[in-house]
Chains A and B, each alone.
Chain A
Amino acid sequence: MLYIKCPHCGMRSQNEFSYGGDASVKRPELNQEISDQDWDNFVYNRKSLRGKHLELWQHISGCRQWIKVERDTGTHEIFNTYKADEASS
């Protein structure tokens, strides 16, 4: 069981959360020419490495806010959580 500290609600079990994937992925800026490769990278390609991973979760059975979680994909240890618009160190 993972325990995730929602920055809005406090420590809750993983059952209350839904996963949203890699939080470091950036949508291409629309005010410029965007190549197929850029879209490919945004929509499909992921690093998905072992180790520290910054990812999105939604507190779907709680405050319903999207949050960022810094978690180790090898050990499942959670280091830090952030609000969605908060800068992660």
Chain B
Amino acid sequence: MQNYSIFNLIKNAFTNHQNWDLAWKDPTPKKEYDVVIIGGGGHGLATAYYLAKEHNITNVAIIEKGWIGGGNVGRNTTIIRSNYMHDENALFSEFGMNLWRKMSQDLNYNVMFSPRGIINLAHSDAQMNAYARRGNSMRLNGIDAVLLNREQVKEIIPMADFSENVRFPIFGGLMQPSAGTARHDAVAWGYARQADSMGVDIIQNCEVTGFDLSAGKIKGIRTSRGDIKVKKVGLCVAGSTNILAEKLNMTLPIETHLLQACVSEPVKPVLDRVVTFGAGHFYISQSDKGEMVMGGDLDGYNSYAQRGNLPTLQHVLTEGIAMMPFLSKLKMLRTWGGIMDMSMDGSPIIDKTHIDGLYLNCGWCYGGFKATPASGWTFAHTIAQDRVHELNAGFSLNRFSTGHLIDEKGLGTKTWIS
């Protein structure tokens, strides 16, 4: 594999950049693999990468129905953070933050990680107290957290509405300075390129149509490009988890929902942080191209449509304008939707299943993108060792029946509770 470096850039300039290697190959599926990862999104690609890198398992295929990176890793708002209160989420996400910090070097691919900090705004005394508690929990787990008062917030984001007579005045906020954003497509492509270079087959336009089980053990998968014998299968298909689960006669604590995001026309640099509205569900950052990247609530009903409806978008942007009135002057450039695995407690599942050799990675709700490296790392461990790592031990499938929910916000699919 060609290294991406200044020297290779100069070298290839002499041939008008016509001779770069392909970033990944387009192989025909083999008859047999040690591990098949279903789903060529961020998590699937990362899992394959860490299987090869950390566990030396390279007879691996990624089976993707469409094209890699075409699902939620290409549809998110690129926010990376670990500002969680519960240990399971906090330790897992902070482990991920450390992977994000060295990802560009690790993958030899510029993922444009920008640790610009995230501010969760507070709009009442009670919310300030709750943020103080969460911030303290974060610090106990070694995560940076700073409680900001109104004046400190005003210094950082003066464009927010600090007038006195607003419905949700800004009391202050909780900031995680090391949080940030990254170039989402580069994450998928970087993982794909490295996984491919270590021998992983990335098979696109290949739909999984069924599973071959025998005596409670996985034997193979059936695909639109032929049957494949396999020892272990990892499911990494956020949004379509229920469809594949049905083929396995499994019913999961997951509903598939629609989440929209949008960007404004590009404008000059105005916002150098990620900011979330505390009196609703709205988050915003500014991309390097200058677009304001915004998102918020689910559309609220089960959907596989990958496109949303305007009432939700209007609701979300109303919150945005309440927080930063200048947004009302901007034109909308683009809106899109993705389908989310909404787990019932709002936290993910990375676990073994009752089927020997079948592993499950799902339920990422709103926060799948930031979890990409940690999810891939722990899922690779779970598959390779056939046991969960302590980082994902809490994300078990049976926690719903045993009562060990991780109710970070206690939301899950039931958005109307908030």
* Residues in chain A within 8 A of chain B (CB atoms): 1-2, 13-15, 18-19, 21-22, 36-37, 39-41, 43-50, 53, 55, 71, 73-76
| B344 close to chain A: CB less than 8 A | yes
> Which residue on chain B has the smallest CB distance to residue A57?
B301
A48 and B400 contacting across the interface, CB-CB below 8 Å: no
Known: A2-B309, A15-B311, A48-B242. A53 touches B302 (CB 8 A): yes
A74 and B305 contacting across the interface, CB-CB below 8 Å: yes
Choice from B251, B310, B413 contacting A41 with Cβ under 8 Å: B251
A71 to B253, CA, bound (A): 21
A55 and B302 contacting across the interface, CB-CB below 8 Å: yes
A74 and B304 contacting across the interface, CB-CB below 8 Å: yes
Known: A15-B311, A37-B401, A48-B256. A73 touches B302 (CB 8 A): yes
Choice from B254, B300, B309, B401 contacting A48 with Cβ under 8 Å: B254
The SS class assigned to the A binding surface is mixed
List B contacts of A13 (CB < 8 A): 311
Choice from B301, B305, B309, B400 contacting A19 with Cβ under 8 Å: B301
How many whole Å from A50's CB to the nearest CB in chain B? 4
List B contacts of A21 (CB < 8 A): 255, 302, 413-414
List B contacts of A71 (CB < 8 A): 301
| B178 close to chain A: CB less than 8 A | no
A45 and B309 contacting across the interface, CB-CB below 8 Å: no
List B contacts of A19 (CB < 8 A): 300-301, 416
List A contacts of B305 (CB < 8 A): 73-76
Interface centre among B252, B301, B305, by most A CB within 10 Å? B301
Chain B residues bordering chain A, tally (CB within 8 A): 24
Known: A19-B416, A47-B246. A1 touches B309 (CB 8 A): yes
A19 to B301, CA, bound (A): 6
List A contacts of B301 (CB < 8 A): 19, 55, 71
A14 and B311 contacting across the interface, CB-CB below 8 Å: yes
> Which residue on chain B has the smallest CB distance to residue A76?
B305
B255 and A46 contacting across the interface, CB-CB below 8 Å: yes
A44 and B309 contacting across the interface, CB-CB below 8 Å: no
How many whole Å from B338's CB to the nearest CB in chain A? 14
A46 and B251 contacting across the interface, CB-CB below 8 Å: yes
Known: A15-B311, A73-B304, A75-B305. A45 touches B243 (CB 8 A): no
Choice from B252, B304, B310, B416 contacting A18 with Cβ under 8 Å: B416
| B104 close to chain A: CB less than 8 A | no
Give the 8 A-B CB pairs with smallest separation, nearest first. Answer: A44-B253, A40-B401, A45-B251, A50-B304, A44-B400, A48-B255, A48-B242, A19-B301
List B contacts of A47 (CB < 8 A): 242, 246, 251
Choice from A2, A39, A43, A48 contacting B302 with Cβ under 8 Å: A48
> Which residue on chain B has the smallest CB distance to residue A35?
B401
A46 and B253 contacting across the interface, CB-CB below 8 Å: yes
> Which residue on chain A has the smallest CB distance to residue B302?
A73
